Amino acid sequence: MQNIVLFGPPGAGKGTQAENIIKKYQLVHLSTGDMLRNEMKNQTELGLKAKTLIDQGLLVPDEVVIGMIKNQINQNLQAKGFIFDGFPRTVAQAEALDKMLAELNLSIHSMVALEVPFNTLKQRLLQRAKELNRTDDTEEIIEKRIQEYNSKTLPVADHYKKQNKFYSIDGVGTVQEVFERIERVLQA
Ligand code: AP5
Ligand code: MG
């Protein structure tokens, strides 16, 4: 089983590249952002609570996303592997993930980090705002999301660096160019 964490700031291309990776390697895509947006769409209690945080660009509580990931892993134990997108986003989430995988005799194979400069992230997300209907793709909330990333999520990279599982990738270029860089890491 090959379990990959796709890492990077908002707009880095995690969702875009996850689609390419699952097609080629038949992994199960686990995006906590997509799961939360689905709860919001269905107006569940969890979705309504999450919406107030997401619309401020703030992270939702660790226990909420850890619970959702645990459920999805348990429902897909026959999978060839998982691609984690937007999770783990805090060191506590990373520790919980390592623990739940270890209990199943599994582990993270690698963290692939997409590096993209701030101005490009902002341009991509403002462009996406015109195409999709994500309520958090406004200039003000994008900046807040990037602040949350810098303060709470960047330390997750160190967590996997200590385990020698961290691979940095240049996330600027065409979608295909970036995918080829990721493939080189996954095939190594
Ligand atoms: P989440 O949905 O995870 O959003 P995010 O991390 O802010 O990232 P995005 O989905 O905006 O960007 P992406 O890296 O997937 O880029 P994409 O491929 O779409 O989280 C949303 C919110 O949910 C959080 O703020 C938080 O509140 C909550 N949440 C989620 N997970 C959580 C967790 N674990 N803990 C706590 N809270 C959590 O690409 C962006 C755009 O760029 C697209 O339009 C795309 O077409 C374009 N693009 C992609 N690649 C390229 C390229 N190479 N060249 C040009 N354009 C490109
Ligand atoms: Mg995404």
| pLDDT per residue as tens digits for the range 68-111 | 999 999 999 999 999 999 999 999 999 999 999 999 999 999 99
Does any domain span residue 127? no
Mutation to probe ligand 1, out of 46, 59, 156, 178 (largest number of atoms < 8 A from CB): 59
Does any domain span residue 141? no
Q: Quick one: which ligand is closest to 177's CA?
A: 1
Does any domain span residue 54? yes
- H or E element in which residue 36 lies: helix 32-41
For the whole model, what pTM was predicted? 0.97
Mind listing the pLDDT tens digit for each residue in 46-58?
Answer: 999 999 999 999 9
Give the span between the Cα atoms of 18 and 28, in whole angstroms. Answer: 9
Tell the residue nearest (CA) to atom 43 of ligand 1.
Answer: 128
Give the span between the Cα atoms of 102 and 173, in whole angstroms. Answer: 36
Range of the domain at 173: 2-116+155-187
Q: Quick one: which ligand is closest to 86's CA?
A: 1
CATH number, position 175? 3.40.50.300
Burial call 114-136: b when 16+ CB within 10 Å, e when fewer: bebeeeebbebbeeebeeeeeeb
SS3 170: strand
pLDDT computed for residue 1 by the predictor: 61
Estimate to the nearest angstrom the gap between the alpha carbon of 187 and the chain centroid. Answer: 21
